[in-house]
Amino acid sequence: MQLENRLESIVKKVRSYHPDPNIPQLRDAYEYARRMHEGQTRKSGEPYLTHPLEVMDIIADLRLDVASLVAGLLHDTVEDTETTVEDLRIRFGDDVAFLVDGVTKLSKFEFNTRQEAQAENIRKMIIAMSRDLRVILVKLADRLHNMRTLKYMSSSGQERKAQETMDIYAPLAHRLGLHWVKTELEDLSFRYLFPEAYYEIAEKVASKKRQRQSFIRKVISILDDLLREHKIVAEIYGRPKNFWSIYRKMRHQQIEFEQVFDVLAFRIIVDERAQCYEALGLVHNLWKPIPGRFKDYIAISKPNGYQSLHTSVIGPYQERIEIQIRTQAMHKVAEEGIAAHWLYKEGKAVPDRDDEKFAWLHRLMEEHQDHEDPVEFLESVKIDLFHDEVYVFTPQGDVLSFPSGATTVDFAYAIHTEVGHHCSGAKVNGKMVPLKTQLQNGDIVEILTHKNQRPNKDWLSFVKTGRARTKIQKTVRTEQRERSRQLGRELLDKELKQYNTNIRAWERSGKLDEALELSRFGTLEEMLGEIGYGKAQADIIVDKIYGDSDAEEAEKKKKKESAGKLGQIWNKIVDRGRTGVVLDGIEDVMVTYAKCCNPVPGDDIIGFVTRGRGLSVHTRECSRVSHLEKERQIDVRWANDTEVPDSARRPVSVRVYCTDKPGLLANISQSFTKAGVNISQAQCVTTDDRRAVNTFEVLVHNRDQLKKAMRNIEKIKGVYKVERATN
């Protein structure tokens, strides 16, 4: 009777999320399981049926389809009763039979201490997952209930199960984005693996429980008032972090419980994406954010699809608290993981192939199915689950590991330095991809080389491994030195031409040695290099030889012409293969953007040949420009002002003068967001007369985008002035 009531409450839960559940089949499955498990008891002494029922309840919490719920009820019938898979097929259909069969097979694999056997288990588990993820989800539900009732097991069994859960199932839940399942599995495992530490933390968390509860209420009420005041409808929750993550933090940072900050985590759930940033602005305005703790997983979501803003602030009473801000939709994904995307759809076995969020899963499957060596397989799967490293294959099937975020260029350099130097293209899983493509687990990577290809300094912006970085830097520096010598040679020859001579004639006449000595250079190459870099000036060197007399006339003439000439020379010398962003014709030299005016694509710009720092680009409006030597200025323009990749967005400072009113900051942030502009840093200074000066570091694609954001901000009530800040 009690169990039937339990069934009814689960059925009610299913009705709450499933639009059209097959309830008679659920009841039939319950009847069937009841009869088959009749007389069996669990170690706790309860009827065995309690277990499949609770597993079904967890599956309902995961909001899965009816076949999964039925499979949950029946998952132990094949293993522990007379029932066969065929029986299930006849009575409940192919889907259910397949799922129960899969779960039964998974349940047979037990981890023992031998690594090879572990590998074999995980392999089969993952392969099963590739065919139908629901198998894994039912298995996770089964494991979760077993962990909840682990106290009835023998202590050696407890430890083994807990270790297995910690090693395999919790990371798996994490990978699938099932946050609550992951944290519960972790805390349950923690309790049996490190009982002393667990109970110590549990006790400490409990001892301050009342105090903490009132603190949580206080923070929630402050946040609630704040958001209400700004007409943002939000749900706010606060809770202590899970014990395992507290413990992990203590262990990693080697600190005591008392030193673990932000033990409390708050969650603000709003309706709209823009409100996330708005709420963030309000929170940061209210409580001081802790530098370096802000993470924007909305703009860049985690591999499992998770999206949220994370920040830590100094809250009331000077406590550090963590705050996560996201929309209802993002929250759904965070809690339900992949289920939120597709599993409520009846009978759908795997996510769509084109669903990018799960591309990793398919890749993992395809690559690992044929693995011969289980140990190697375990390694690669473990690394995938812990996702700070990626494992990829050479076309020959060798496995190489890289730090997460590594690209095809890192791969090329890992193969061989020469392959890196000459890599001209890459194929991932048989398809041509850009060189900066980041490697994913299971990718098969092939590098194409060309003898004329040389390392490019742009590669430095995306390579992850030290090996690739060092090799590229070295080559780029050598080539830069070579180019600056060439430039130096041309500059010196131009100078000498005014005296109807040239470097070669100087060498013959001995004037060169004289010049080297006067200017204290050891060799011609050294001198040319210094001239090219702008560290030495050709005209001064020449003047030292010919004195002032003839020089003055030539000087005047030269000054008139050299701006144009220098520009031509630069263009001629540096017109090489271009790779992307920057400036017409001179992409291959050291280009730096002046920090004083931070030019962005679309701005009117001018180049300046610096002494030793390559070409510096200023806006024409920049106040510094008038102080720069005319001879060193050259005309430059943007190569392409429409297509700027996100990675090449330019930083700009925008200063907003406004009244010191709390809501304003949020409005301003929102205006940036609306224009598609990302804020990377904000600094707010209030003055005594209740005014505020907010300086935002933002990343923009081009001038139009920036202007749009600035115009929007100008319209906000309470804003006096918006300007691009120069330093």
Site of interaction with Mn ion (CB under 5 A): 76, 142
Min CB(650)–Mn ion separation in Å:
57
Residue whose CB is less far from Mn ion, 138 or 531: 138
CB of 58 to Mn ion, least distance (A): 11
Q: Indicate the residue among 6 and 467 with the shorter CB distance to Mn ion.
A: 6
Cβ of residue 144: shortest distance to Mn ion, in angstroms? Answer: 10
**3-class DSSP assignment, residue 592:** strand
Q: Which two tokens stand for residue 582?
A: 């920057």
Taking the C-alpha atoms of residue 246 and residue 201, their distance in angstroms, rounded to an integer, is 8
Question: How far apart are the C-alpha atoms of 374 and 173, rounded to whole Å?
Answer: 22
Q: Is 428 helix (H, G, I), strand (E, B) or coil?
A: strand
* In the complex, least distance from residue 55 CB atom to Mn ion, rounded to whole angstroms: 6
- Using an 8 Å Cβ cutoff, are 549 and 504 in contact? no
Strand (E) or helix (H) holding 605? strand 605-609
Between 65 and 76, name the residue whose CB sits nearer to Mn ion. 76
Rounded to the nearest whole angstrom, what is the least distance from the CB of residue 280 to Mn ion in the complex?
43
Would you state the structure tokens that stand for residue 122, as one six-digit string?
């995980």
* Start-to-end CA span in the chain (Å): 77
d(CA 358, CA 304): 8
CB distance 53 to 7 below 8 Å: yes
Closest CB 111 distance from Mn ion, rounded Å: 16
**Helix and strand tally (H, E) in the chain?**
30, 19
Residue number, nearest CB to Mn ion: 142
Q: Which is nearer to Mn ion, 77 or 498 (CB)?
A: 77
Give CA–CA dist 307/337, Å, rounded: 11
The smaller minimum CB distance to Mn ion, of residues 165 and 616, is found at 165
411/447 Cα distance (integer angstroms): 8
Degrees (nearest 5) of the Cα angle 596, 600, 605?
Answer: 75
Smallest distance, Å, CB 241 to Mn ion? 29
Nearer to Mn ion among residue 107 and residue 502 (C-beta): 107
Do residues 412 and 437 lie in contact, with contact meaning Cβ atoms separated by under 8 Å? no
**How many Å apart are CA 605 and CA 617, to the nearest integer?**
7
List active site positions: 79-80
Nearest CB to Mn ion, comparing residues 56 and 428: 56
Quote the least distance from Cβ 350 to Mn ion, whole Å: 23
Distances (CA, A) of 602 to 59, 242, 381, 582, 702: 55, 49, 47, 11, 6
CB 420 within 8 A of CB 427: no
Which letter does DSSP use for residue 46 in this model?
A: S
Determine which helix (DSSP H) or strand (DSSP E) holds 360, and give its type and residue range: helix 359-368
Residue 324 and residue 308 in contact, taking contact as beta carbons nearer than 8 Å: yes
Of 58 and 439, nearer to Mn ion (C-beta) is 58
